[in-house]
């Protein structure tokens, strides 16, 4: 975990505005950050935390956090109440303290209700951050008590394996769009299984590499580490799916022929959103992605 901002975030108008607000003492007490990249959400939070606390929040005694735990990846009411008690205590250094809730969408109603009053009226000098990669799943009672900021990240990050996958996916869609697979639908279906297998391999590799670079807090329990790793995998998966959506949007118009494919593009993006939702409910990646690609095959081969 680093307090240094990547270049794409350092130039962000949102980040610049928040840093200016903190410098002028006008930073809201409850901030909800959402976006596809868990790394960017955390980087934005730590950049502001460094300004608030005057030092690296990772090792600061007045930085407190909760995150999902165990295989169910839930934020329990017990851990929520423990965070509330820490928030109510006086700062150990200076006059400011910070609480961070990772993945507030994993809060059940009991945990959320236990947190609402503190979220709405925290003690003086307290700033609360909530970092979510699935904003639509955050309970409305939580969302309504925060100022929401979208932290944009790069969905198509620089990785040769992922770039090659997107190129092959794009070629597959182009072949469907141009009717090249109408007489050989078996090739189109066979390509799907290759894309699914490679997607899972890339996702696992990128997650493993990101995990090795992560500075896991020494105080993290085994359950917290398992949940952190699973959360990292989900965050990486969201970034990959965002890259697929970007690729799909590029097919709305074919410059060479002048034809437009807005209905096909829209339906494909809607399907991607649907199957992304299923993945958030613990559907298997291979099953959901295969279903999405099979539906894309039907959509893009209907046009004559």
Cα-trace Rg, the chain: 22
What residues does 126 pair with on adjacent strands? 97
Domains in the chain, start-ordered, CATH in brackets?
7-150 (3.40.50.300), 160-301 (no CATH)
pLDDT band at 2 (very low <50, low <70, confident <90, very high): very low
Residue 217 gets which letter from DSSP?
A: -
pLDDT band at 30 (very low <50, low <70, confident <90, very high): very high
- How far is C-alpha 147 from the geometric centre of its chain's CA atoms? 18
Number of CB atoms found within 10 A of residue 202's CB? 17
State the pLDDT at residue 277. Answer: 83
Whether this model's pTM surpasses 0.85: no
Give me 196's structure tokens.
Answer: 């699914």
- What CA–CA distance (Å, rounded) separates 22 from 12? 16
Phi, psi of 45, rounded to the nearest 5 degrees: -65, -45
Is 1's pLDDT higher than 70? no
Is residue 46 a contact partner of residue 58, using CB atoms and an 8 Å limit? yes
When pLDDT is averaged across residues 262-278 and rounded to a whole number, the result is: 86
- What CA–CA distance (Å, rounded) separates 112 from 138? 10
What residues does 63 pair with on adjacent strands? 98
- What CA–CA distance (Å, rounded) separates 101 from 64? 9
- What CA–CA distance (Å, rounded) separates 226 from 228? 5
Is 221's pLDDT higher than 70? yes
Higher pLDDT: 48 or 228? It is: 48
For 152-171, letters b (16+ CB in 10 Å) and e give: ebebebeeeebeebeeebee
Give me 48's structure tokens.
Answer: 């502001």
64-88 residue pLDDT tens: 999 888 767 888 899 999 999 999 9
Number of CB atoms found within 10 A of residue 265's CB? 21
């Amino acid at each position: 975990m680093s307090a240094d901002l990547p270049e794409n975030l350092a130039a962000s108008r949102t980040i610049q505005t928040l840093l200016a607000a903190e410098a002028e003492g006008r930073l809201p007490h409850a901030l909800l950050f959402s976006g596809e990249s868990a790394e960017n959400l955390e980087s934005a939070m730590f950049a502001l935390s460094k300004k608030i606390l005057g030092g690296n929040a990772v090792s600061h005694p007045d930085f407190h956090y909760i995150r999902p735990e165990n295989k169910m990846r839930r934020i329990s009411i017990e851990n929520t109440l423990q965070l509330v008690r820490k928030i109510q205590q006086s700062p150990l250094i200076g006059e400011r303290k910070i609480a961070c809730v990772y993945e507030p969408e994993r809060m059940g109603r009991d945990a959320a209700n236990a947190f609402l009053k503190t979220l709405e009226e925290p003690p003086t000098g307290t700033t609360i951050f909530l970092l979510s990669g699935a904003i639509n799943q955050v309970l409305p009672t939580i969302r309504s008590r925060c100022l929401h900021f979208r932290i944009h990240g790069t969905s198509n990050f620089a990785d040769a394996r992922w770039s090659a996958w997107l190129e092959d996916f794009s070629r597959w869609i182009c072949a469907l769009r141009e009717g090249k697979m109408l007489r050989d639908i078996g090739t189109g279906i066979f390509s799907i299984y290759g894309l699914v297998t490679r997607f899972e391999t890339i996702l696992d590799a990128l997650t493993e590499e990101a995990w090795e670079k992560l500075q896991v807090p020494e105080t993290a329990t085994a359950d917290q580490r398992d949940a952190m790793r699973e959360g990292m995998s989900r965050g990486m998966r969201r970034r990959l799916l965002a890259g697929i959506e970007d690729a799909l949007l590029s097919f709305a118009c074919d410059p060479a022929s002048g034809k437009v494919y807005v209905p096909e593009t829209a339906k494909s993006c809607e399907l991607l959103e649907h199957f992304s939702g299923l993945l958030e409910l613990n559907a298997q990646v291979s099953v959901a992605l295969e279903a999405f690609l099979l539906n894309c095959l039907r959509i893009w081969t209907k046009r004559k």
